[in-house]
Amino acid sequence: MDIKPLSRHNLSVNSLIFKAIIKLLIKLPTKNRKIYRLISNCKQMIETNDKIFIFDTTLRDGEQVPGCQLNTVEKIEVAKALEELGVDVIEAGFPVSSPGDFNSVVDISKAVTWPVICALTRAVENDIKVAAEALKYAKHKRIHTGIGTSDYHIKYKFNSTREDILERAVACVKFAKSFVEDVQFYAEDAGRTDNEYLARVVEAVIKAGATVVNIPDTTGYCLPWEFGEKIRYLMENVKGIDKITIACHCHNDLGMATANTMAALRNGARQAEVTINGIGERAGNTSLEEVVMTCRSHKELHLESNINTTHLYGISRMVSSLMNMPVQPNKAIVGRNAFAHSSGIHQDGVLKNRESYEIIDPKEVGVDENSILLTARSGRAALKHRLHVLGIDMDKDALDKAYESFLKLADRKKEINDDDIMMLAGQHHASKRRIKLAFLQVTSGVGIHSVASVGLDIAGEKFEACSTGNGPVDAAINAIKQIIHRKMLLKEFLIQAINKGSNDVGKVHMTVEYEGNSYYGFSANTDIVAASAEAFIDAINKFVR
């Protein structure tokens, strides 16, 4: 089915003052036809505004992923980078969920000036009160409250009825409205909610004062045309919908989050809820960079955002590094291979004319083609620049240390790529951790038991242990466990090579379970036993404070 876009006009006029003047002028009687025409054209432009709002939820929905938790300092770093990127709204957390989340919303509110700071709540009065308190210092604030509207949620989660949920939806918006002007309502699992009932809920919350209504495909179930039709149905059947913004919030369980978001925007949604690198629970959320670059590449859609696309690559790497969440090499827009042409035919074509095989100029998203690889001949300034492009700024001492490690690594490997550099930056972050690997010695081979001696530095104090194992990694982990007496279970353990060759760097990803929670650990080293021990210690650092 061909669904035509609801709005075709291109408009970059966003000034509230301009809109207010036009709305005022249109009310004044005038006999001059030219003036009348001019004013009504302006009014039409305002009403068919094609600016899309980018609502980033990396620090809320993204941060919910086990092992991706950030401390407040790291969250502020990401929030400031999001502000520089040009997002319109930052969802900073779910304040009632923990004191850490509450404080992060407070601190982000203080640190950031331009974007709206949004705090999530359930349709519960105390959640809303706490969110309002956390937003106290925000220059522009929004409460995001809501409730599940699908029959699955109504019946199994709330053991309730459609009528009762509708009343609770209205009540939570009214209550939030008593604290802030800007209230966003979410109809959780809207993707699987009956359209007629959803329209009733949306109309009721608009009447109660919602300024934005979010239509999430919580389970990532919808098909693009189905989700587009849902938005269109609401646009055509809900009274007052033209006065508010409709948001779409998609999950990627079937790999369709970006497609569903685009379908929603084409049918009238004007706020896209996204995360950097598409991180988020399960298969993740819609990725910011994919939606922004799709809108930018398809000018005929007339969908414009405020995003400064040259920051996309840097922020992608920053989030990946801070959250220890690698970006898949073939990830659209920001993956390591997104602009790497290996076939001779492609290389030849790109050299003759980039557009033969590339739809995006790498520079547009902040990838500097000339500096992808560094070698032992590269100077400190080149490393500093590359780190900056990757979103990491180091002071002089840290840079000196990173450069020393860089030269050692460059001696072993001919070419140093972005992953290697992120690893060096990771070592720098690791040097700030409470528990550090002081030394590791392993004996292993065929026909003998592996034995490992490990030294740990815990907040300045030295500890040593020795253990055997069924291999060198097992022996090293057992020795660490002797020092850190906790009931920890190694749930996942993955070793990946970055490039090829026996001199390669091994990346280790681990999940360690402790007291019912999972903690993610990461390290990279040319010695894979050392990388494994470091990844284990990285995870432990997240629960041993």
Binding site residues, ligand KIV, CB under 6 A: 61, 186, 188, 214, 216, 218, 249, 251
Residues 221, 363: Cα–Cα separation, whole Å: 35
Q: Which of ligand KIV, Zn ion, none lies near 294, with the C-beta cut-off 5 to 8 A by kind?
A: none
Residues 114, 79: Cα–Cα separation, whole Å: 11
Residue 101 or 538 with smaller CB distance to ligand KIV:
101
Tokens describing residue 108: 């982000």
Residues 485, 327: Cα–Cα separation, whole Å: 33
Residue 91: CB minimum distance to ligand KIV, A = 9
Residues 197, 202: Cα–Cα separation, whole Å: 9
Residue 400: CB minimum distance to ligand KIV, A = 43
Residue 280: CB minimum distance to ligand KIV, A = 8
Per-residue x/- mask for Zn ion, residues 15 to 54, rule CB under 5 A? ----------------------------------------
Spatial CA neighbour of 108 closest among 138, 82, 84, 132:
138
249: Cβ–Cβ under 8 A, 6 or more apart, which residues? 57, 186, 214, 215, 216, 217, 218, 273, 285, 286
Residue 127 or 419 with smaller CB distance to ligand KIV:
127
Residue 98 or 371 with smaller CB distance to ligand KIV:
98
Per-residue x/- mask for Zn ion, residues 312 to 351, rule CB under 5 A? ----------------------------------------
Residue 219: CB minimum distance to ligand KIV, A = 8
H helix intervals, 15-98: 16-27, 33-47, 72-85
Residue 272: CB minimum distance to ligand KIV, A = 13
Residue 267 or 275 with smaller CB distance to ligand KIV:
275
For residue 212, count CB atoms less than 10 angstroms from its CB and return exposed for 0-12, middle for 13-18, buried for 19 or more.
buried
| 267 contacts 237 by C-beta, under 8 angstroms | no
Residue 198 or 409 with smaller CB distance to ligand KIV:
198
DSSP H or E stretch at residue 523:
strand 517-525
Residue 251: CB minimum distance to ligand KIV, A = 6
Residues 189, 199: Cα–Cα separation, whole Å: 14
Residue 77 or 188 with smaller CB distance to ligand KIV:
188
Residue 69: CB minimum distance to ligand KIV, A = 17
Residues 394, 98: Cα–Cα separation, whole Å: 31
147: Cβ–Cβ under 8 A, 6 or more apart, which residues? 122, 123, 153, 158, 165, 168, 169, 172, 187, 188
Within residues 47-76, the interface with Zn ion by CB under 5 A covers 61
Residue 8 or 155 with smaller CB distance to ligand KIV:
155
Q: Which of Zn ion, ligand KIV, none lies near 104, with the C-beta cut-off 5 to 8 A by kind?
A: none
Give contact residues for Zn ion (rule: CB under 5 A).
Answer: 61
